[in-house]
Amino acid sequence: CGFCAQTVGEAAACLNAGSGDVLLTNSLPRHGARRLAALAAAFPAAKVSALVDCDEHVGTLEEAAREHNTALGAFVEIECGQDRCGAAPASDAAVALAKAVRDSDVLQWRGLHVYHGAIQHVRTSAERQQRVDEGPAAAARSTIARLEKAGVPVPCVTGGGTGTLFQDLAAGTHNELQPGSYLFMDADCARARS
């Protein structure tokens, strides 16, 4: 069991509390990557990872890991319907990013991050299932097939959340899920469940 963090400060709190697996679910600018690499160096037994969705992110993480003489995990972010971030599903860019991470001497290929936050708040279970199937699940499935055809096995597909936990499980594409709002019972999630 690991933890997701939105900021390097949250990642530090998780590691300081004893977590051995922390994924920063963002890509990082240079100063953030350096801080994350310093954390990874300070907690050498922990798996510390971040997201990449372009060559610049890969280079930034590599530079930071080398500077701190450590390794960082990297997940390739796949765009799955929010038009916010991520490489296009099953694209040449997604394959190139996965290969760049896999072939790096300081990055560890962890897999794909396929997350669609807006679906967490869709009201009915049936509509959430349809949106998951057409969005994150389809994006994950097509990208896994493309990567495997290119000789890049995908060890993990992470994403999902509290609002879509059962729909993500039913879709069968993710082998790691990220529920978290339940800890604080996000007000909108509470309304949706009542």
> What is the Cβ-side half-sphere exposure of residue 157, based on CA atoms within 13 angstroms?
26
Confidence bin at 194 (pLDDT 50/70/90): very low
The CA-atom distances, in angstroms, between 23 and each of 4, 12, 151, 192 are: 5, 11, 25, 27
What are the pLDDT digits (tens) for 10-25?
999 999 999 999 999 9
What are the pLDDT digits (tens) for 123-161?
899 999 999 999 999 999 999 999 999 999 999 999 998
Number of C-beta neighbours around residue 110 at 10 A = 22
What are the pLDDT digits (tens) for 72-111?
999 999 999 988 899 999 999 999 999 999 999 999 999 9
